[in-house]
A and B are shown apart, each in its own frame.
Chain A
Amino acid sequence: MYRLRRLKSQLFTALSIAVAILVFATIAHILLSVAVNGVGVIASAGIDFFVKPPPPPGAGLEGGIGPALAGTIILVALSAVLGVPLAVLTAVFLAEFPHSRFSRLVKLFTNSLLEIPTVLVGMLVYVTLVTSTGSYSILAGAVALSIVLLPYTSTYVERALEMVPATYKEAGYSIGLKKAQVVWYVTSRIARRGIAAGILIGLAKAAGETAPLLFTLGGALYSYPTSPASLLEPGNAIPLLIFTLTLAPYENWHSVAWGAALILTLMVLGLIIAVRLVVREVKV
């Protein structure tokens, strides 16, 4: 009886280790393939990889991801402008009025946003913004991404605000500060690193998502965003470009996709490392 139990326990341990190794190996394999395949492509295209549009189908590697790189930067910036203030305000509201009925409603809403597949967010923006303006656009893509980042940033920022010890808020009230002043001069300053981390996490999410862009951005392969008016025209983004290039039956496009994947990985990794750095230094 005892030996059977011990055998079971050992089996379970072995299984857990095997699964862990499998997961780790998969991630390592993906990262390694991206690095190995991506570096070659980027090296052979040189600086062109960052500025030129993709090469014509089946015709060498003389090109890159210029429009998509520019698009991703603009999309992330624009979705931050649209989404971050709303996310932070939502978080402040939830942290300051945790018991109000409206809070519970908002909480339900942000939690649902975390759960629903992001492709549905894209469809929502499609049926509202894209059909009403009559065109895919960078703006529509940014709206979709801002909806995607909203629940991540607001949840994280809310937690950061809640972690500020009550005694500092009380100190703020005790010297006669109003609620808004306590939030502005005390709570948010003490939680500033957590707030910054929440914003970066939202941006990392927005930078890496493909699904919300499928029905919103338009996937323009060759045109660059050149003026503010471009925001109302179709654009591209690195994740969407990877999706497009990989589905096409051209060897050289697959190669460019590897390079794009490497750049995207580095961007998101950079944001995640920034989050780590910001969070590590939290001290109260």
Chain B
Amino acid sequence: MARSDGTEVTVRNLRVYISGRPILKGINLRATPGSILAIMGPSGSGKSTLIRVINRLIDLNPSATVEGEVYIGGLNVLSADPYDVRRLTAMVFQEPNPFPHLSIFDNVAIGPKLHGLAKSRADLEEIVRWALEKSQLWEEVKDRLADYPHQLSGGQRQRLSLARALALKPKVLLLDEPTANIDPVSTRKIEESLREIARDLMTTVIIVTHTPQQAARIADYIAVLYNGELVEYGPAREVILYPKNEFTKKILEGVI
């Protein structure tokens, strides 16, 4: 099923330094369209940094330097115009950050609207509804789309951030602990949505998660970072059943 043409994410010998300190120390990875790659690892191991390289948000940190190669399909991420890279990607941040000055509707609509993805108002409303449904938020907000994010709970805000990302129907979906504040039932449903999106839209999904169970439920591949190094990478079943690395075992046992 996995297609190798369009939007495979390839990371080769990636090194990141922040203020001269090595944060990622030579990472090699691949994430294929239609599949989900889970990134695991203890706090501070470089998971968020890796995500931020793939969509070039790392550029916003002037003290960061990046070496190596990153490709999205044929696009050389590190030498391309960052805005071209970000048109292919969308991201959910570790801390929910819906735009505080925009209504629930506009938070989801702003991306499609500014990128001209909707041909009409009805079209736009359809996209917003779809994204909110996939994020398991539609039922809770369908009668209050004009409300603002500060009127939502933390978990609702995180699902709104997810909807904002999904509304762009990105080729590459980058998720930094997207269900950290969300209840187990919604979490399961969101995981289903993510599987559907990967399968139906051939999206490349990269998800940072701290819970081995979540990785086991949704990931096709698992990568484990430890102290800026990739200590384990392979098909999810293999990594879970036969972890090669000591740290991987501990992480899968939930010890670190």
Contacts and interface: CB of A to CB of B under 8 A. Distances in A.
B93 A168 contact: no
Given A170-B93, A174-B57, A190-B99, 5 more contacts: A173-B60, A175-B114, A176-B86, A186-B99, A284-B100
A174 B82 CA distance: 10
Given A166-B60, A176-B83, A171 B97 contact: yes
B90 A174 contact: yes
Contact of A167 (B97, B114, B150): B97
A190 B101 contact: yes
Contacts of B57: 170, 173-174
Contacts of A186: 99, 101
Interface in B67-111: 82-83, 86-87, 89-91, 93, 95, 97-102, 110-111
B111 A176 contact: yes
B184 interface: no
B110 A175 contact: yes
A73 B161 CA distance: 46
Contacts of B87: 176
A170 B82 CA distance: 13
Given A168-B100, A190-B100, A174 B93 contact: yes
Contacts of A192: 101
Contact of B164 (A175, A181, A185): A175
Interface of A: 99, 165-178, 181, 185-186, 189-190, 192, 283-284
Contacts, number: 65
By size class, the interface of chain B is 20 to 34
B168 interface: yes
Given A176-B115, A178-B83, A170 B97 contact: yes
Contacts of B219: none
Interface string B42-65: 000000000000010100101000
Contacts of B55: 174
Contacts of A189: 101-102
Given A167-B93, A174-B86, A99 B110 contact: no
A165 to B, nearest CB: 8
10 contacts: A171-B97, A174-B57, A175-B86, A175-B111, A175-B168, A176-B90, A176-B115, A176-B168, A181-B114, A283-B100
Contacts of A166: 60
Contacts of A169: 60
Contact of A99 (B60, B62, B100, B101): B62
Contacts of A170: 57, 60, 93, 97
Query: Which 10 pairs of residues, A with B, have the shortest CB-CB distance?
Result: A175-B111, A174-B91, A167-B97, A176-B86, A189-B101, A176-B87, A171-B97, A284-B100, A190-B101, A170-B57
B190 to A, nearest CB: 19
A94 B55 CA distance: 25
Contacts of A168: 97, 99-100
A13 B62 CA distance: 47
B124 interface: no
B114 A185 contact: yes
A283 B150 contact: yes
Interface centre among B91, B101, B150, B165 (most CB of A within 10 A): B101
Nearest to A167: B97
A168 B150 CA distance: 14
Contacts of B115: 176
